[in-house]
Every structure is written in structure tokens, then in C-alpha cells.
Amino acid sequence: LLYGIAYLHRWTRHRMRFPNPDRELILSRHERSRVLTQNEVRKLWAVMSEELKDQFVLALECCMRKGEIFKLRWEQVGLKKGIVYLKAEDVKTGSQTGHGREFKLSRLAFTRLLARSGGNSPYVFPSRFDPLKPRTDNRRAWGNALKNAKINGKVRWHDLRHTSISNLILKFHRDPILVGEYAGLAVKTIQRVYLHSDAESTASCAVSQIS
């Protein structure tokens, strides 16, 4: 029971003192997420291929999941208004909520997708072997980019989405409710998973309420 509470509230010291391998096996992937620094983003951008840059922008600036990126069809991209329309079956949480997502592309994402348009494939990122099928993964390209950029520590592709949402709230001070609608997340999920802060970030909360 105590370990369950420690696991829920992420009391790391308690979990190390009273280890429970079974619970550690289901450790949330979000707990292992990290926020990339601006310097790391610049290093990655400098060594990535053009196609990986297009995927990188959609993940970092548009909060798109990897599955949403690779399954994205041109018919879902409104190049006139720069809006992406995802159906419920195209969104990870669509089966739970019953609806998809509609969001506006960032300026850089819109520019790069516009440059990619005009191909014969219905997918924005088609398979190299069959243009009628979507690309399924970018693990090798991502691994090479991390190696060439000399990024220390393990960085997953999902960390780009984690970085994007955290920055929108903590760095750019966007409303968590609007961020949740943009990223396709519930506000409770944002508060529990993506909203990370430290002493410096919360310094403004240390005000004298007695006087």
C-alpha cells in the first residue's frame, strides 16, 4: 500500500528503499520523459535530413504524435488555411473521446509542408517501397541524428511532444485548457504528466499572503 502511494506520487527515495520490481515494470513512460533544451534542439536541427526536419517540426511545434505524423494524408491538410483535420480514428485518444483534432500549423510547419506538397502519394510521408502506404517509423534516422548531434542521455521521439507542451505552458505561458485542446489532451493529463516545474519556475508563487 505504501509503495503504491509512493509510486502514484513519484516518491523516488521511498521506491528505492522499498523496491517493487513488478510495479517498476509498468513505470509510466511519461515519468521518464525529458524536456529538450533550446541548444539541444538547435544541434539536432543542424544534423537532420530534410524529411526528418519536416517530421521534427510537426512533433515539436504542432504537438503531433508519431502515429499521427506518419498516417497524415494530404486530404487532411488544409494548405490554404494551414489547418490539419484529424478524424477520431487517427487520434490516439479518439476512441475514448469520440472525436478527432483540428489545429493550426505553426508558420515553419506550414512552410515545410507546402514545399512537400505536389507528390503522387496520398500520404505526407509515404513509404520508400510503396508510395500508397505510409512510412511506419523513423527510428534509425532519429538515432543517427542524436548520435551526430552528440546529445547526452537517452532521448525518445515522444520527448519532442513532451517538450512542446511543457514549453507552451511554462515558457510561453499559454492557457493549459487551450494547450489541451490543441494537443488533444485532457487538462488533468496536462497537469499530471506534462506540467513540470522547478523552484525557479514557481518562484513567483512565493509571495507574502499574511501581510
User: For 67-114, how does the pLDDT look when each residue is reduced to its tens digit (9 = 90+)?
Assistant: 999 999 999 999 999 999 998 888 876 666 667 888 999 999 999 999
When pLDDT is averaged across residues 134-146 and rounded to a whole number, the result is 94
- What pLDDT shows up at residue 104? 92
Amino acid letter, 163: T
Q: Which three cell numbers stand for residue 82?
A: 494551414
Residue 205 has pLDDT above 70, yes or no: no
Q: Record the pTM.
A: 0.76
Q: Which of 53-57, 73-77, 87-91, 128-132 has the lowest mean pLDDT?
A: 87-91
